[in-house]
Each structure stands twice: as C-alpha cells, then as structure tokens.
C-alpha cells in the first residue's frame, strides 16, 4: 500500500478512521497454514461444540440436493418470524431478523446514533458496541465496570455506574447478559430496576446471545418486560446454542415502532435462504439446545475445578466460555496453545493482557485444551 496519504481519506468519517477493526478468533485453516498442523481445535468463538441439530443438517442437505438457489430468499422471513412469534408468544410486528445479531446492533446504531448522539455501555463489553457506535460517528460513553477484586462479580457490569452515566444525550444503552468477553451477568431484579430507570427517550438493548446457558434460577425473563418498557430491545442469536454461527441468523424483539424502523435500514434480503431454513428448523429442536446446555454445564464444572487446581483464577460465568487469569502476560501461553493446535481467545484487545478466554468444547476437546495448557505453562 502507498504510504502517501490519499486525498479522499479526509472525507472518510472520523469515527470510522478512529475505530479498530474487530479481531475475530483465528480460523482453523489459518493456523493450519501457519504452523502446518493438522489436528486443530478451536475454542475461541463460543460456538456450539455439538454443531447444529441433526434436523438442521438433514434440512440443509435436502435443500442442497435440490440446488435451488436461483430465486431470492423470502425477504420478509415470513416462516421464521412466525416460528419466533410462536416460540415467544408475541406478535410478529415485534420481530426484526438479522444476519446474525451483530446485524441488529448495526441497525440500532444506524437508526438511533449519529454525530452528536451518544451510546452508553460498560468497560469489558462486547467489542461490537463501540464499533457500531463509532461507525455512525457517534460518541461512546464507557461506564466503569466492577473492579477486578470485586468479591462477587469481578469485571462485571456495574448497573449503578451505568445509571449514573445516563444523560438525555444518550440515545442507546447496550448491555450483554451474560456478557462476552467476561461471562459475568447481572441479576434479574437489578436489571429490571435499571431498565425502569432509563429515560423513555433512551433505547435499552439487552443482548441475550448466551441466554440459554443461564442457570434456570438466574434467567431474567426479560421478554415479559417488553410490554412494560416500550424502549426495550432484546437481541437473540442462532450462532451460539443453536450452532448456526456459520450461516448468520439472529433477531430482535422490540416495540413494533422500533421494529418498523429497524426494518427500514435492513437490506431487503439480509438473511439468505439457508439461514432462514436452518434457523426455522433449529428453533423447533429445543432438545438439541438442552443437550448443548447440559454438556456446557457439566464441562464448565470440570474446567473450573482444573483451573483452581492449577492455581488460576476464573471469572464467574453463565455463558459457554471461561475467562481466566494467568497472573502474568498471557501472550506466550496463547502462543504455546496455538503451537499445540488449540485456538483460544487472547484478551489483550479488551485491556486484560493477563487473561485468556476459552470456549467450552466437547469433553475430548476440553481434555486436549487442559493438556495443552498444562504443557504450555510448564514450557
């Protein structure tokens, strides 16, 4: 690339010039190319280690056999929306479909953020919130998280700090519950009390990408809040428990007037026909979701026990990953794991340079990870 500044760059939006691109988990192929390894496991992007439901695989295979891809997909997502509406017991006018829930966060930013507007979120929040905000040339207000030595929820969202940062200029506040990259969560009653405090002119986005993994007693039941708070938006995804990350499907539940606006900025065919089909079938197989959640629960107990035995501190998590402290620079251990064919997520870009985040895999994958971790620590 030329080192001479191109004249047109001065017309690029300042927010875009300022943003750091999202760094995704390293793809298996890339590590294969780089190190010539063959037996690689990826525990870096919180995907479902069981893959999608067998019913989804069958439906996709049947569709592929027909090769019927020449027609545009249903731009309105009629069938999927009907399934989602039935699943949640709500009207389809409250649903917006997204190419992953990331898409919905971008729609929300497009509709409600712009120059002079502010978005509020916590430290250690999902990396997409500042990205979507800056891309709109809006300002990011970052509330302090709970401190690293907090007895109950280190690095967790501090709802009081978020509430204190609410001003009339804040048009959107975004909270992931449970949160990624920490796994931490906010308690249901406290969260509803927070939502109730948010001015009616400010949108509250509850990003529930990991909601299915919550212990039943901790599930917030936020869907019922939609009737009480017209400024509430809930986002859900098929990427995590449903095992469809590669196809891209998510949705938002909101007041119909919000859904109407989000649908105006959506590209007409934002979900492809395979994503629509797979999501529809996946939603119908709740037994598969339950299986993934159960595997996650038992393996999380095991991984936590092993971390403790290794003297490593782990953040509390209600999600499908664990974020742990090596008590020293994590980069060499990250590298050591890569060399042993195990991809996890470094946390340096989140300003947590001594931490790594590992997605909970199958029993065999977790054993591989633990063996590699022990070897990397001893190296």
Ligand X SMILES: *Cc1c(COP(=O)(O)O)cnc(C)c1O
Determine the interface stretch with ligand X among 100-108, 215-223, 301-309, 333-341 (rule: CB under 6 A): 100-108
Q: Which tokens in the block code for residue 122?
A: 């916590």
Among 80, 113, 120, 176, which residue sits at the site for ligand X (rule: CB under 6 A)?
176
Q: Which of 152, 159, 176 is nearest to 321 (CA)?
A: 176
Question: Rounded to the nearest whole angstrom, what is the least distance from the CB of residue 174 to ligand X in the complex?
Answer: 9
Residue nearer to ligand X on the CB measure, 136 or 372: 136
Among 48, 53, 102, 202, which residue sits at the site for ligand X (rule: CB under 6 A)?
102
Among 184, 202, 239, 366, which residue sits at the site for ligand X (rule: CB under 6 A)?
239
- The reply on whether position 207 binds ligand X by CB under 6 A is yes
Contact track, ligand X, 249-288, x by CB under 6 A: -x--------------------------------------
Give the relative orientation of helices 273-284 and 286-309 as an angle to the nearest 10 degrees. Answer: 80
Question: Tokens 């400010």 label which residue?
Answer: 202
Question: Rounded to the nearest whole angstrom, what is the least distance from the CB of residue 102 to ligand X in the complex?
Answer: 3
Cα–Cα distance measured from residue 335 to residue 343, given in angstroms and rounded to the nearest whole number: 9
C-alpha torsion sign, points 122, 149, 193, 256: positive
Question: Rounded to the nearest whole angstrom, what is the least distance from the CB of residue 108 to ligand X in the complex?
Answer: 12
H helix runs in the chain, sequence order = 14-18, 28-35, 54-66, 78-88, 101-112, 128-135, 159-164, 188-197, 256-265, 273-284, 286-309, 331-339, 363-378
- The reply on whether position 127 binds ligand X by CB under 6 A is no
Determine the interface stretch with ligand X among 54-62, 218-226, 234-242, 297-305 (rule: CB under 6 A): 234-242
Question: Rounded to the nearest whole angstrom, what is the least distance from the CB of residue 181 to ligand X in the complex?
Answer: 8
Maximum Cα interatomic distance, the chain, rounded to a whole number of Å: 58
Question: Rounded to the nearest whole angstrom, what is the least distance from the CB of residue 250 to ligand X in the complex?
Answer: 4
- The reply on whether position 318 binds ligand X by CB under 6 A is no
Return the DSSP state at 52: S
Q: How far is CA 163 from the centre of its chain?
A: 23
* 177 class by beta-carbon count within 10 Å (0-12 exposed, 13-18 middle, 19+ buried): buried
Residue nearer to ligand X on the CB measure, 183 or 341: 183
- The reply on whether position 296 binds ligand X by CB under 6 A is no
Task: Give the footprint of ligand X on this chain (CB under 6 A).
Answer: 46, 100-102, 126, 176, 180, 207, 209, 237, 239-240, 245, 250
């Amino acid at each position: 690339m030329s080192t001479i500044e191109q004249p047109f760059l001065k017309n690029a939006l300042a927010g875009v010039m300022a943003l750091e691109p999202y760094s995704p988990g390293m793809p298996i192929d890339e590590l294969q190319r780089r190190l010539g390894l063959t037996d690689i496991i990826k525990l870096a992007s919180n995907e479902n280690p069981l893959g999608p439901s067998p019913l989804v695989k069958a439906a996709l295979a049947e569709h592929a056999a027909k090769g019927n891809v020449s027609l545009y997909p249903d731009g309105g997502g009629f069938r999927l929306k009907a399934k989602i509406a039935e699943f949640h017991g709500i009207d389809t006018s409250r649903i917006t479909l997204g190419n992953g829930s990331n898409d919905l966060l971008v729609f929300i930013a497009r509709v409600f953020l712009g120059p002079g507007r502010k978005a509020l979120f916590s430290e250690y929040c999902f990396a997409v919130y500042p990205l979507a905000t800056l891309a709109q040339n809006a300002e990011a207000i970052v509330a302090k998280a709970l401190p690293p030595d907090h007895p109950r929820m280190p690095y967790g969202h501090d709802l009081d700090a978020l509430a204190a940062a609410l001003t009339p200029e804040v048009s959107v506040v975004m909270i992931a519950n449970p949160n990624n990259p920490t796994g931490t969560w906010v308690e249901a009653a406290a969260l509803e009390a927070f939502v109730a405090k948010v001015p009616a002119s400010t949108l509250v986005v509850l990003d529930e990408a990991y909601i299915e993994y919550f212990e039943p007693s901790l599930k917030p039941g936020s869907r019922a809040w939609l009737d009480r708070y017209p400024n509430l938006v809930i986002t859900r995804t098929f990427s995590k428990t449903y095992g469809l990350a590669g196809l891209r499907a998510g949705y938002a539940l909101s007041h119909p007037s919000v859904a109407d606006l989000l649908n105006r900025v959506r590209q007409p065919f934002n979900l492809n026909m395979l994503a629509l089909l797979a999501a529809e079938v996946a939603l119908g197989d709740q037994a598969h979701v339950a299986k993934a959640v159960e595997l996650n629960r038992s393996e999380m107990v095991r991984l936590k026990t092993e971390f403790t035995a290794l003297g490593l501190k782990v953040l509390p998590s209600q999600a499908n990953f664990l974020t742990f402290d090596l008590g020293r620079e994590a980069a060499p251990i990250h590298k050591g794991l890569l060399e042993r064919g195990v991809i996890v997520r470094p946390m340096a870009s989140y300003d947590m340079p001594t931490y790594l985040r590992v997605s909970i895999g199958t029993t065999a994958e977790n054993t591989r990870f633990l063996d590699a971790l022990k070897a990397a620590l001893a190296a």
